[in-house]
Amino acid sequence: MPKPKVLISEDSIKQRIATLSQEITKAASEDIVIVVLLKGAFIFTADLLRSLSDSGLQPEVEFMTLSSYGSGTKSSGHVRVHGDIPLELDGKTVLIVDDILETGNTLVKARQLLSQSGASDVKICVLLQKRITATPEIQADFVGFEIDDHFVVGYGLDYDNRYRELPYIGLL
Protein backbone atom coordinates (compact mmCIF):
# COMPACT_ATOMS: atom_id res chain seq x y z
CA MET A 1 0.00 0.00 0.00
CA PRO A 2 1.36 3.48 -0.85
CA LYS A 3 2.15 5.72 2.12
CA PRO A 4 -0.23 8.70 2.11
CA LYS A 5 1.28 12.19 2.07
CA VAL A 6 0.77 14.22 5.25
CA LEU A 7 -1.96 16.85 4.97
CA ILE A 8 -2.53 17.46 8.70
CA SER A 9 0.17 16.23 11.07
CA GLU A 10 -0.27 14.24 14.25
CA ASP A 11 0.93 17.26 16.23
CA SER A 12 -1.52 19.69 14.63
CA ILE A 13 -4.38 17.28 15.36
CA LYS A 14 -3.33 17.04 19.02
CA GLN A 15 -3.16 20.80 19.41
CA ARG A 16 -6.48 21.39 17.66
CA ILE A 17 -8.25 18.80 19.80
CA ALA A 18 -7.07 20.59 22.93
CA THR A 19 -8.58 23.92 21.79
CA LEU A 20 -11.67 22.26 20.35
CA SER A 21 -12.49 20.57 23.62
CA GLN A 22 -12.24 23.92 25.40
CA GLU A 23 -14.67 25.42 22.87
CA ILE A 24 -17.09 22.53 23.40
CA THR A 25 -16.80 22.63 27.19
CA LYS A 26 -17.59 26.36 27.21
CA ALA A 27 -20.63 25.97 24.97
CA ALA A 28 -22.10 22.66 26.14
CA SER A 29 -24.29 21.83 29.10
CA GLU A 30 -22.84 19.42 31.65
CA ASP A 31 -25.11 16.49 30.84
CA ILE A 32 -24.57 16.09 27.10
CA VAL A 33 -24.57 12.74 25.37
CA ILE A 34 -21.92 12.22 22.73
CA VAL A 35 -23.02 10.07 19.80
CA VAL A 36 -20.04 8.70 17.90
CA LEU A 37 -20.65 7.98 14.22
CA LEU A 38 -18.93 4.74 13.30
CA LYS A 39 -16.75 3.76 11.86
CA GLY A 40 -14.83 6.89 10.87
CA ALA A 41 -15.07 8.90 14.11
CA PHE A 42 -13.79 6.29 16.56
CA ILE A 43 -10.19 7.49 16.83
CA PHE A 44 -11.04 11.19 16.84
CA THR A 45 -13.68 10.71 19.53
CA ALA A 46 -11.38 8.62 21.71
CA ASP A 47 -8.89 11.51 21.83
CA LEU A 48 -11.57 14.20 22.01
CA LEU A 49 -13.31 12.52 24.97
CA ARG A 50 -10.12 12.35 27.01
CA SER A 51 -9.37 15.97 26.19
CA LEU A 52 -12.92 17.00 27.15
CA SER A 53 -12.42 15.26 30.46
CA ASP A 54 -9.26 17.33 31.00
CA SER A 55 -11.33 20.47 30.41
CA GLY A 56 -13.98 19.32 32.87
CA LEU A 57 -16.67 17.64 30.75
CA GLN A 58 -17.55 13.96 31.25
CA PRO A 59 -20.31 13.14 28.74
CA GLU A 60 -22.28 9.93 28.28
CA VAL A 61 -21.21 8.10 25.12
CA GLU A 62 -23.37 6.27 22.57
CA PHE A 63 -22.55 4.81 19.17
CA MET A 64 -24.32 4.69 15.84
CA THR A 65 -23.14 3.16 12.56
CA LEU A 66 -23.97 4.84 9.27
CA SER A 67 -22.41 4.47 5.84
CA SER A 68 -22.69 6.32 2.58
CA TYR A 69 -19.57 5.37 0.67
CA GLY A 70 -19.52 1.64 -0.05
CA SER A 71 -15.98 1.02 -1.27
CA GLY A 72 -15.21 4.00 -3.51
CA THR A 73 -14.07 7.56 -3.03
CA LYS A 74 -17.39 9.19 -3.94
CA SER A 75 -20.42 9.33 -1.68
CA SER A 76 -23.25 7.12 -2.93
CA GLY A 77 -25.73 9.71 -1.69
CA HIS A 78 -27.69 6.98 0.06
CA VAL A 79 -27.05 6.68 3.78
CA ARG A 80 -27.44 3.24 5.32
CA VAL A 81 -28.06 2.65 9.02
CA HIS A 82 -26.43 -0.47 10.49
CA GLY A 83 -27.46 -1.95 13.83
CA ASP A 84 -28.93 -0.14 16.80
CA ILE A 85 -29.55 3.55 17.23
CA PRO A 86 -29.46 5.21 20.67
CA LEU A 87 -33.03 5.21 21.97
CA GLU A 88 -33.21 6.78 25.42
CA LEU A 89 -32.49 10.39 24.62
CA ASP A 90 -35.64 12.02 26.00
CA GLY A 91 -34.97 15.69 26.54
CA LYS A 92 -31.20 15.28 26.30
CA THR A 93 -28.68 17.44 24.50
CA VAL A 94 -26.75 15.38 22.01
CA LEU A 95 -23.39 16.13 20.40
CA ILE A 96 -22.91 14.07 17.25
CA VAL A 97 -19.22 13.49 16.49
CA ASP A 98 -18.21 12.55 12.96
CA ASP A 99 -14.95 12.37 11.06
CA ILE A 100 -15.79 14.56 8.07
CA LEU A 101 -18.60 16.66 6.65
CA GLU A 102 -18.83 16.47 2.88
CA THR A 103 -22.31 16.47 1.29
CA GLY A 104 -23.98 16.44 4.70
CA ASN A 105 -26.17 13.43 3.87
CA THR A 106 -24.79 11.39 6.76
CA LEU A 107 -25.29 14.10 9.35
CA VAL A 108 -28.78 14.99 8.11
CA LYS A 109 -29.76 11.35 8.58
CA ALA A 110 -28.07 11.08 11.99
CA ARG A 111 -29.72 14.26 13.26
CA GLN A 112 -33.12 13.09 12.09
CA LEU A 113 -32.77 9.70 13.82
CA LEU A 114 -31.58 11.23 17.08
CA SER A 115 -34.40 13.78 17.13
CA GLN A 116 -36.83 10.89 16.64
CA SER A 117 -35.23 9.27 19.70
CA GLY A 118 -36.24 12.29 21.74
CA ALA A 119 -33.11 14.45 21.83
CA SER A 120 -34.15 18.02 22.61
CA ASP A 121 -31.09 19.59 21.04
CA VAL A 122 -28.64 18.13 18.55
CA LYS A 123 -25.25 19.73 18.01
CA ILE A 124 -22.57 18.60 15.59
CA CYS A 125 -18.80 18.30 15.86
CA VAL A 126 -16.62 17.15 12.96
CA LEU A 127 -12.87 16.79 12.74
CA LEU A 128 -12.84 17.87 9.09
CA GLN A 129 -15.08 19.86 6.83
CA LYS A 130 -14.61 20.01 3.07
CA ARG A 131 -14.90 23.39 1.40
CA ILE A 132 -17.44 22.37 -1.15
CA THR A 133 -19.51 24.40 -3.55
CA ALA A 134 -22.87 22.74 -2.88
CA THR A 135 -24.97 24.50 -0.23
CA PRO A 136 -24.79 22.26 2.79
CA GLU A 137 -28.13 21.36 4.30
CA ILE A 138 -26.43 21.13 7.62
CA GLN A 139 -23.85 23.10 9.54
CA ALA A 140 -21.39 21.83 12.09
CA ASP A 141 -21.25 23.71 15.39
CA PHE A 142 -17.63 22.66 15.97
CA VAL A 143 -15.09 22.05 13.19
CA GLY A 144 -11.52 20.85 13.69
CA PHE A 145 -10.11 21.76 10.27
CA GLU A 146 -11.44 22.96 6.93
CA ILE A 147 -9.85 21.21 3.95
CA ASP A 148 -10.07 21.46 0.16
CA ASP A 149 -11.98 18.88 -1.78
CA HIS A 150 -9.48 15.99 -1.56
CA PHE A 151 -10.10 12.42 -0.59
CA VAL A 152 -8.30 11.95 2.73
CA VAL A 153 -7.45 8.97 4.90
CA GLY A 154 -6.04 8.28 8.36
CA TYR A 155 -6.92 9.06 11.97
CA GLY A 156 -10.07 6.95 11.57
CA LEU A 157 -10.88 7.81 7.95
CA ASP A 158 -10.58 5.01 5.46
CA TYR A 159 -10.29 4.03 1.85
CA ASP A 160 -11.95 0.62 1.56
CA ASN A 161 -11.59 0.11 5.33
CA ARG A 162 -7.81 0.67 5.17
CA TYR A 163 -5.55 3.40 6.55
CA ARG A 164 -7.68 4.14 9.65
CA GLU A 165 -4.64 3.52 11.88
CA LEU A 166 -2.51 6.38 10.47
CA PRO A 167 -1.81 8.96 13.20
CA TYR A 168 -2.17 11.85 10.72
CA ILE A 169 -4.60 12.95 7.97
CA GLY A 170 -3.11 11.95 4.64
CA LEU A 171 -3.68 12.27 0.91
CA LEU A 172 -3.70 9.11 -1.15
Cα(164)–Cα(161) distance, integer angstroms: 7
To the nearest whole angstrom, how small is the minimum distance from the Cβ of residue 134 to ligand IMP? 10
How big is the chain by its Cα radius of gyration, in Å?
15
Q: Which residue of 105, 123, 124, 154 would you call a contact of ligand IMP, by CB under 6 A?
A: 105
List the beta bridge partners of residue 35. Answer: 62, 96
To the nearest whole angstrom, how small is the minimum distance from the Cβ of residue 53 to ligand IMP? 24
| Site map (CB under 6 A) of ligand IMP, residues 151-170, x = contact | xxx---x-------------
> By CB under 5 A, is residue 40 in contact with Mg ion?
yes
Residues 6-35 that bind ligand IMP (CB under 6 A): none
Residue 109 Cα distances to 66, 67, 68, 171, angstroms: 9, 10, 11, 27
10 Å CB burial of residue 119 (0-12, 13-18, 19+) is: buried
Question: Which parts of this chain interact with ligand IMP (CB under 6 A)?
Answer: 40, 68-69, 75, 98-106, 151-153, 157
Residues of this chain that bind Mg ion (CB under 5 A): 40
